[in-house]
Amino acid sequence: MTTLFISDLHLDAERPAVTELFGAFMQGEARRADALYILGDLFEAWVGDDDPSETGAYVAARIREVADAGVPVFFIRGNRDFLLGDTFARRAGIRILPDPAVVMLYGKPAILMHGDLLCTGDTAYQAFRAQTRNTAWQAQFLSQPLAARLAFAAQARAASAAHQGGMKQDNQASFETLTDVTPSAVEATLAQFGIDTLIHGHTHRPALHDLTLGDRACRRIVLGDWYEQGSVLRVEPSGMALEKLL
């Protein structure tokens, strides 16, 4: 009995080895799981469900095989694939969850998030996030030709890389703080839901953090990214383990 969690795969045609690793994972242990949760940034970029990319088709097919094998697959949108919609969900056989979402794991509740909402110190990003999650903005963006949307996504990635590169150069310590979660946001989320376990990705800092909130012992689990190798959280009735896929 195992439930699997992955996040921040950033699958892209330019990194075929990672896409192949994802395929092997889906054709292997994912098919034997009780459930699979993908907590955002499955793709490096997603500009609409009408994107005919081979990577998108391959990923959808591998997920559908898992779903057809009887394993429920759940997805939370990330900051790179927040435009992933119902058409892709039906194609892949996934259920899209809100961010945050509360699920039961072997009788115990857990909060699931992509994780970007917890990075409140990066005010520029939070402003961009608020804009791009607006339904009117999304409708206007999706009405543009596919080529224009792909160009926008490329420009946005370049601007993000430049922004982060500038922060690193100016002040490495400040960069680390701004791109990680804000402790007060974590505490507020745990307090809001009254739940002791929080699982998220986004920051690319895989770890299991134990913390105390009042008289409650809580745990925050951060999933790893798939840039250099795979990363998976395995949760069983007896406990959990965050491990690499080589």
Strands (E), 93-206: 94-96, 101-105, 108-112, 197-200
Q: What 3-state DSSP class applies to 84?
A: coil
Residues 6 or more apart whose CB falls under 8 angstroms from that of 129 comprise 79, 116, 117
Residues 6 or more apart whose CB falls under 8 angstroms from that of 214 comprise none
**Do the annotations mark residue 8 as ligand-binding?**
yes
**Do the annotations mark residue 200 as ligand-binding?**
no
**Do the annotations mark residue 234 as ligand-binding?**
no
**Do the annotations mark residue 163 as ligand-binding?**
no
Residue with tokens 């005919």: 52
**Do the annotations mark residue 81 as ligand-binding?**
no
Q: Which helix (H) or strand (E) holds 187?
A: helix 183-193
**Do the annotations mark residue 209 as ligand-binding?**
no
Q: How many CB atoms lie within 10 A of CB 61?
A: 13
CA distance 68 to 63: 9
**Do the annotations mark residue 134 as ligand-binding?**
no
Which residues belong to the annotated binding site? 8, 10, 41, 79-80, 114, 122, 160, 171, 202, 204
- Numbered residues of the known binding site for substrate: 79-80, 122, 160, 171, 202
Known binding-site positions for Mn(2+) = 8, 10, 41, 79, 114, 202, 204
